[in-house]
């Protein structure tokens, strides 16, 4: 069961030159978000948040003012379109009431909570990303500074795009650039709430989305580490530890090494520690699967949609992005992000089905499928963070199984835990953050399906596939330590089922969930 040493990289000059050319391209510009007083402009491009009213009821506020100034143009347009301001409804009016364009966004009836405000902001952001106007003004009449900042947060998420590798965007070259000005009674107070809080979370989401969207030829384990160092540069109370192949060999991390040994791009284990809480207090730990490309290894996947397997490092990206958000807003908590990074490729040095692997904990398992690599990298990462950091709670996050997509589709991540209190905390955080989870069973019988005649267990086998995977991972958790596993295979990439705050592509699912989880349960 001796682990083979990782092969030395054999990168040629041409691929290196190609990589340099790719990474030199500029990142797509997005609108700068600013805050002003609530006074409505009289021209330009305006987004107006409109509460729902009964049919025929009179409107007040900015709508009424603009309507009066335009001799009833807005009222006539909304009546003709049947627009009453229901949640998620929109009415796009070009060349009306003296404006180049007016977008009416329905806010529904009653007071809008934070989740609804974020979704409204998402619609604003998606509109602003399509608009060629140099400035888009958003009129929000609520007086709370936090609400205006929450609207900006949603807009920042909604306007996200990744055009880094486009050499031209044709007629849309200027779309989505310039300023997005949130006008509200809170004015400068809203700017302070944004700068001191929600802007950091938006940056954490963008960081994770960018990583997940990058093609695998531009982002391997080393590049993931480099991007992380760049993102955390200048952040206070942060340290970054990276284990290379020799360091992992000394620790006996045969499981993580086994996944990466078929690739010329060596694996890494990265630990980001943020110490914003009480000195010496045990941290909250987020451990992410970071497979920068998953071919399936020797148990190779089918070709259909294999391109999407660049997303198989979403767990690591979101765990790291969440701690970036905590550090960016100076959250009063200690937190750790662990990224188990490897590329799973078939080659003459790759791990084979039937191999027996010894992990850092000493436990062994028989490889049934090299495409069950996510749990393989996670177990060494989980062992390490428990030994080094003794976290008060661990949540691992991974695009782990297709079975969870069959069970839950694109509406929920699968939550596996034996801790009822932790389950309730994550379920609540999922609802309030807009990244919901659904608790799945962890039956004691799942372990029987993983029994091996020659090792401590197998890395797969039996159904349900998501449940046995969670059981396998749980074998490396210390007795009594609060732990949960999130299978996000159906939530990490949205294609044709976008949300207002999540355009098509990488979602960075987990950043908002973890930020909310920490806010509600661990901040002092």
Q: φ and ψ at 65, to 5 degrees?
A: -65, -50
Residues with Cβ within 8 Å of 52's Cβ and at least 6 positions away in sequence, in order, are 84, 85, 86, 87, 106, 107, 108, 109
- Report whether 289 belongs to an annotated binding site: yes
- Report whether 210 belongs to an annotated binding site: no
| Nearest 10 degrees: Cα torsion 350, 354, 359, 364 | -170
Catalytic residue among 161, 199, 268, 375: 375
Question: Distance from first CA to last CA of the chain, Å, rounded?
Answer: 47
Q: Which helix (H) or strand (E) holds 398?
A: strand 393-398
How many whole angstroms separate alpha carbon 269 and alpha carbon 257?
10
- Report whether 294 belongs to an annotated binding site: yes
What the block records as the tokens of 371 is 């495409």
Least Cα distance to 291 among 261, 262, 267 occurs for: 267
Is the sign of the CA dihedral 104, 110, 111, 113 positive or negative?
Answer: negative
Q: Where are the alpha helices (DSSP H) in 233-278?
A: 245-251, 254-260
Q: Which helix (H) or strand (E) holds 306?
A: none
Contact 224, 290 (CB under 8 A): yes
Q: Which residues, listed in sequence order, are joined to residue 285 by a DSSP beta bridge?
A: 336, 394
CA angle (411 as vertex; 410, 416 as ends), nearest 5: 100
Least Cα distance to 342 among 272, 402, 401, 257 occurs for: 257
Least Cα distance to 104 among 41, 48, 34 occurs for: 48
61 Rama sector, left if φ>0, alpha if ψ -120 to 50, beta otherwise: left
- Report whether 371 belongs to an annotated binding site: yes
Question: In the chain, what's the furthest Cα-to-Cα distance?
Answer: 83
Strands (E), 199-333: 238-243, 268-275, 284-294
The 10 Å Cβ neighbour count of residue 10 is 6
Asked if 375 is an active-site residue, the reply is yes
Asked if 206 is an active-site residue, the reply is no
Is the sign of the CA dihedral 374, 380, 386, 388 positive or negative?
Answer: negative
How many whole angstroms separate alpha carbon 92 and alpha carbon 88?
13
- Report whether 396 belongs to an annotated binding site: no
What the block records as the tokens of 112 is 């809008």
CA angle (439 as vertex; 434, 442 as ends), nearest 5: 150
Catalytic residue among 301, 392, 418, 481: 301
How many whole angstroms separate alpha carbon 518 and alpha carbon 201?
12
Q: Which residue has the tokens 């197998």?
A: 458
Q: φ and ψ at 458, to 5 degrees?
A: -105, 160
Catalytic positions are 301, 375
Which residues contribute to the annotated binding site?
289, 294, 312, 371, 373
Which residues contribute to the annotated binding site for Mn(2+)?
289, 294, 312, 371, 373
């Amino acid at each position: 069961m001796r682990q083979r040493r990782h092969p030395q990289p054999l990168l040629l000059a041409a691929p290196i030159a190609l990589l340099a050319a790719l990474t030199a391209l500029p990142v797509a510009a997005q609108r700068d978000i600013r805050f002003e007083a609530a006074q409505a402009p009289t021209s330009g491009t305006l987004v107006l948040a409109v509460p729902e009213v009964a049919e025929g009821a009179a409107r007040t506020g900015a709508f009424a003012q603009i309507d009066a100034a335009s001799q009833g143009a807005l009222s006539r347009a909304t009546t003709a379109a049947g627009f009453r301001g229901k949640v998620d409804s929109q009415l796009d009016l070009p060349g009306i009431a003296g404006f180049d364009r007016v977008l009416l966004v329905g806010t529904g009836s009653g007071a809008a909570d934070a989740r609804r405000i974020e979704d409204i902001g998402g619609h604003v952001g998606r509109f602003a990303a399509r608009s060629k106007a140099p400035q888009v003004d958003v009129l929000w009449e609520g007086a709370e500074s936090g609400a205006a900042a929450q609207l900006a947060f949603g807009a920042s998420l909604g306007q996200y795009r990744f055009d880094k590798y486009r050499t031209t965007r044709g007629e849309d070259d200027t779309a989505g650039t310039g300023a997005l000005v949130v006008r509200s009674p809170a004015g400068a107070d809203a700017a302070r709430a944004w700068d001191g809080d929600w802007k950091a979370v938006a940056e954490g989401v963008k960081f994770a989305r960018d990583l997940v969207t990058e093609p695998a030829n531009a982002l391997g384990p080393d590049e993931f580490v480099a991007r992380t160092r760049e993102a955390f540069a200048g952040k206070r109370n942060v340290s970054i530890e990276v284990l290379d192949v020799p360091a992992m060999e000394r620790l006996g991390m045969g499981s993580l090494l086994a996944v990466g040994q078929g690739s010329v791009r060596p694996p890494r284990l990265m630990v980001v520690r943020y110490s914003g809480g009480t000195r010496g207090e045990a941290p909250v730990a987020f451990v992410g699967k970071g497979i920068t490309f998953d071919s399936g290894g020797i148990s190779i996947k089918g070709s259909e949609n294999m391109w999407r397997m660049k997303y198989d490092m979403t767990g690591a990206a979101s765990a790291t992005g969440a701690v970036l958000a905590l550090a960016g807003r100076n959250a009063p908590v200690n937190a750790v992000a662990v990224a188990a990074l490897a590329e799973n490729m078939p080659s003459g040095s790759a791990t084979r089905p039937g191999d027996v692997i010894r992990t850092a904990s000493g436990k062994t398992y028989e490889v049934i499928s090299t495409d069950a690599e996510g749990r393989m990298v996670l177990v060494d990462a989980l062992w390490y963070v428990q030994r080094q950091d003794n976290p008060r709670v661990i949540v691992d996050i991974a695009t782990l199984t297709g079975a969870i997509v069959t069970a839950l589709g694109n509406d929920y991540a699968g939550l596996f835990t034996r801790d009822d209190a932790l389950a309730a905390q994550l379920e609540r955080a999922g609802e309030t953050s807009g990244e919901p989870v659904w608790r799945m069973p962890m039956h004691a019988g799942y372990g029987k399906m993983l029994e091996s005649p020659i090792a401590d267990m197998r890395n797969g086998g039996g159904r349900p596939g998501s449940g046995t995977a969670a059981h396998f991972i749980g074998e490396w958790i210390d007795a009594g330590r609060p732990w949960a596993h999130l299978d996000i295979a159906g939530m990490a990439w949205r294609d044709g089922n976008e949300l207002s705050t999540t355009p098509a592509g990488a979602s960075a699912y987990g950043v908002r969930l973890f930020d909310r989880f920490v806010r509600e349960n661990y901040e002092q």
